[in-house]
Amino acid sequence: MTGRVRIENREDGKRVYCLSSHRRTVTETDLVNFVNLVGLHEPPFIDMEWVEKRMPGRHNTRFAPAPFLISLGMGLVATSVMEVTGAIAEDEGLGPFHGMVGLQAKVQNPAFPGDTLRVDLGAWVDRKTERGQTLVDLEHVLKNQRDETIVVFTEKLLFDRAS
């Protein structure tokens, strides 16, 4: 195995391939550009007067939309994710990478401009499919500078049979 990938053995017997990403500070420009790029033209994301009058507590300011957080989380590990999946494929005898087949996410806390985020990534073999392919889970835990969990999301990847 190479690089920053480390293996941990969980109590349930799963081998988990882990790494932590670099950090990135979210800017107001990031959020405005993302909202406009994907068309999230809902009042909470484009109308700060509406937010100030109608959004309670911590959300009474510009905050990051969940799709932005998931995209950023994927991007923070993008340069290393092939290292992780390559290690799993080699160690577990998997075939070629076929693609992402699912995504599940849970937002736990908001993120705001000025927050610095990182990802703790864990990856493991989930199970074999009826066709003999292998499903692999990539769990991203996106955390802020206070080590608070912002979003936990899991990509489900599909690997073909080994040749």
pLDDT digits (tens, 9 = 90+) for 39-94: 999 999 999 999 999 988 888 889 999 999 999 999 999 989 989 999 999 999 99
Residue 47 is predicted with a pLDDT of: 92
Sign of CA dihedral 23, 27, 29, 34: positive
What's the pTM value of the predicted model, to 2 decimals? 0.91
Structure-token pair, residue 20? 């932590």
Structure-token pair, residue 125? 């073999």
Total domains in the fold of the chain: 1
Which amino acid belongs to residue 12?
A: D
In angstroms, the CA 81 to CA 123 distance is: 9
In angstroms, the CA 66 to CA 54 distance is: 19
- Answer whether residue 1 is part of any domain: no
Picking from 110, 96, 119, 125, the residue whose alpha carbon sits closest to that of residue 10 is 125
- Answer whether residue 87 is part of any domain: yes
CATH number of the domain encompassing residue 24 = 3.10.129.10
> Distance of CA 1 to CAs 91, 119, 124, Å?
9, 20, 15
Domain extent, residue 97, equals 6-159
